[in-house]
């Protein structure tokens, strides 16, 4: 129906969007918004309803997106919310096959980290104190 270029252009504003799926029941949308405010995200966000079990969580930056998606699941007022990656092909009737993967490269030399730029991955360096830092290349 639409050309790939048009779909990509329309989907661009949603590149930092996740879908929250509630397994049994869903709290009120205002309670969900307050929960996300309590996470002290560095940028802005919007939460909206897709259907009775699914919400869209649109974030304004990659840091918040990665932090939230890495957790995979949250409990909001005793209701489990699983996180799914949104894509233009996302369908609430199907389970998303996309999941975050953490790979460790112990003693990776700094000059090899540029390879992740070409592969489109995010590289996180963990220091001795277990603080995660995003290496901007």
Contact 53, 47 (CB under 8 A): no
pLDDT in tens, 30-41: 999 999 999 999
This prediction has a pTM of 0.70
Contact 134, 63 (CB under 8 A): yes
Q: Say how far apart CA 101 and CA 91 lie, in whole Å.
A: 22
pLDDT band per the 50, 70, 90 thresholds, residue 8: confident
Using CA atoms of 33, 39, 40, 46 in order, give the dihedral in degrees to the nearest 10: -30
Distance of CA 55 to the CA centre of its chain: 13
Percent of the chain with pLDDT over 70: 73
Q: Say how far apart CA 122 and CA 73 lie, in whole Å.
A: 21
Q: What Rg, from alpha-carbon coordinates, does the chain have?
A: 17
Q: Say how far apart CA 128 and CA 125 lie, in whole Å.
A: 10
Least confident range of 52-56, 78-82, 106-110: 106-110
pLDDT band per the 50, 70, 90 thresholds, residue 70: confident
| Domains along the sequence of the chain with CATH | 4-85 (3.30.70.330), 101-137 (no CATH)
């Amino acid at each position: 129906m639409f050309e790939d270029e048009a779909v990509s252009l329309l989907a661009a504003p949603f590149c930092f969007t996740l879908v929250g799926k509630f397994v049994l029941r869903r709290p009120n949308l205002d309670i969900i918004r307050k929960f996300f405010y309590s996470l002290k995200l560095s940028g802005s966000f919007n939460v909206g309803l897709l259907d009775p079990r699914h919400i869209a969580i649109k974030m304004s930056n990659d840091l918040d997106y990665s932090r939230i998606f890495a957790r995979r699941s949250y409990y909001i007022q005793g209701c489990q919310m699983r996180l799914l990656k949104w894509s233009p092909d996302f369908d609430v009737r199907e389970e998303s096959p996309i999941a975050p993967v953490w790979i460790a490269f112990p003693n990776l030399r700094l000059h090899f980290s540029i390879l992740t730029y070409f592969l489109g991955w995010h590289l996180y360096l963990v220091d001795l104190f277990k603080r995660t830092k995003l290496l901007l290349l």
